[in-house]
A and B are shown apart, each in its own frame.
Chain A
Amino acid sequence: AQSVTQPDARVTVSEGASLQLRCKYSYFGTPYLFWYVQYPRQGLQLLLKYYPGDPVVQGVNGFEAEFSKSNSSFHLRKASVHWSDWAVYFCAVSMLSGSFNKLTFGAGTRLAVCP
């Protein structure tokens, strides 16, 4: 069965510093991978998605992620964090079931940004 592990429950960075949020997946076959962000009292918003191809994908607001098949990873990165990035970040893997996209999410990483 597919699964996602986000090993860091909480991460704190200073504003302007670089960021990496880790994601490890378990999936038999070629995965489709996603990063979503959840701001307080809001639904999930898509940051970026990976479909087989270029391993580095660009997303919104300066985020990017790199797929590694050898490491079973899909880490999220940002060069310079802004205070507005304070949120919870979820990594997800998709299992295509027929023509349907069934997402399995990790537990999330809470990002705090210090001034």
Chain B
Amino acid sequence: EAGVTQSPRYAVLQEGQAVSFWCDPISGHDTLYWYQQPRDQGPQLLVYFRDEAVIDNSQLPSDRFSAVRPKGTNSTLKIQSAKQGDTATYLCASSPGTGKDTQYFGPGTRLLVL
């Protein structure tokens, strides 16, 4: 069974540029999570979906961040006008859907904003 895949693995931007991260969850997993992990910190939940519906995006840092999952499978997280404070690893996770299910994490995208 293929795991959660993410691309790109690395991104380097100048402040003000936009970037998108892509996530392909494990097949059949209807719940998808995006986390932000600053250097030397634990992951912090940004947004999560059940199928194509956003369940909670209250932790998205600002209106510069957006996330979609239009067909209930792959998902894209986008940062408009990146700032140095956005430098972090962005992790995607998926789970089969019930509350106690384990979340399976992808390898992450490491973002550096100069």
Contact = CB atoms under 8 A, between A and B. Distances in A.
B43 A105 contact: yes
Nearest to A45: B105
A107 B91 contact: no
Contacts of B45: 102-104
A28 interface: no
Interface residues of A, number: 28
A42 B91 CA distance: 10
Contacts, number: 64
A97 B43 CA distance: 18
B91 A100 contact: no
Contacts of B102: 46, 49
Interface band, chain B: 20 to 34
A43 B99 contact: no
Interface in B25-60: 31, 40-45, 48, 50, 55-56
Contacts of B63: none
Contact of A101 (B44, B91, B101, B106): B101
Contacts of B106: 43
Kindly name the residue among A41, A44, A49, A104 whose own CB sees the greatest number of chain B CB atoms within 10 A: A44
B71 interface: no
15 contacts: A43-B4, A43-B93, A46-B103, A90-B42, A96-B100, A97-B99, A98-B99, A99-B99, A100-B56, A100-B99, A101-B99, A101-B100, A102-B56, A103-B43, A103-B45
Interface of B: 4, 31, 40-45, 48, 50, 55-56, 91, 93, 95, 97-108
